[in-house]
Amino acid sequence: MSTRDLVLTALFAAIIVALGLLPPISLGFIPVPITAQSLGVMMAGVVLGARRGAIAVLIVLLLVAIGLPVLSGGRGGLAIFASPTAGFLVGWIFGAFVTGYLSERLVNHGQSGLVQTVSFFLAAMIGGIVVLYAFGITYLATVAGLGFTKAFVGSMAFIPGDVIKAVVAALLGRAVMVGYPLLPARA
């Protein structure tokens, strides 16, 4: 890993941590405040790509594990991983990876802004929602003894908010691509 990649991942991890400290951003048109940390996971993928995005998230989880209150609401410590929703946290790593992988594949500089934004949106939906929930729901179903169907139904309440986050992540991915592109650095 180059020093630049190391610093990029660390700075992005710092952004995810900072997002947890900020007051939630209200979107105005809907009453759901954006708690920005799961948005940060999608952003890590669309901005940094698969490998660096996943490592940025991994660094955040490492900070949680070693006892720093870096999750929103000042949560932290190993005890977080004993919660029935810990599967979602672990799923963050894979969510960021898949979002990044799809972004690398689907988006390139020759495309129009709309195509880029829609591609980023698809990447964030699949990585940040499908993959993330696959991990979260599986863990919830197994560890809490709920069974898949109930864990699935219980988690659906959070999907609308996550779709909005995917939209925001897509717009951001596009904005960063125009302002400071990092993605094609896969070569």
Residues binding other proteins (CB under 8 A): 1-4, 6-15, 17-18, 21-22, 25, 27-28, 34, 36, 39, 43, 47, 59-60, 62-63, 65-70, 73, 75-85, 140, 143-147, 150, 154, 168, 171-172, 175-176, 179-180, 182
Residue spans of beta strands (DSSP E) within the chain: 25-26, 33-34
Beta carbon nearer to other proteins, 127 or 136: 136
Beta carbon nearer to other proteins, 17 or 50: 17
111: alpha, beta or left? (left if phi > 0; alpha if psi -120 to 50): beta
CB 52 within 8 Å of CB 8:
yes
Q: How far is the CB of 26 from other proteins (least distance, A)?
A: 9
Q: How far is the CB of 149 from other proteins (least distance, A)?
A: 10
Q: How far is the CB of 15 from other proteins (least distance, A)?
A: 6
Instruction: Give the residue from 113, 117, 2, 116 showing the smallest Cα distance to 51.
Output: 2
Q: How far is the CB of 78 from other proteins (least distance, A)?
A: 4
3-state SS, residue 174: helix
- Paired tokens of 153: 């139904």
Beta carbon nearer to other proteins, 3 or 112: 3
180: alpha, beta or left? (left if phi > 0; alpha if psi -120 to 50): beta
Q: How far is the CB of 101 from other proteins (least distance, A)?
A: 18
Residue 71 pairs in a beta bridge with 75
Beta carbon nearer to other proteins, 98 or 165: 165
CA 54/CA 93 separation, integer angstroms: 5
Beta carbon nearer to other proteins, 117 or 131: 117
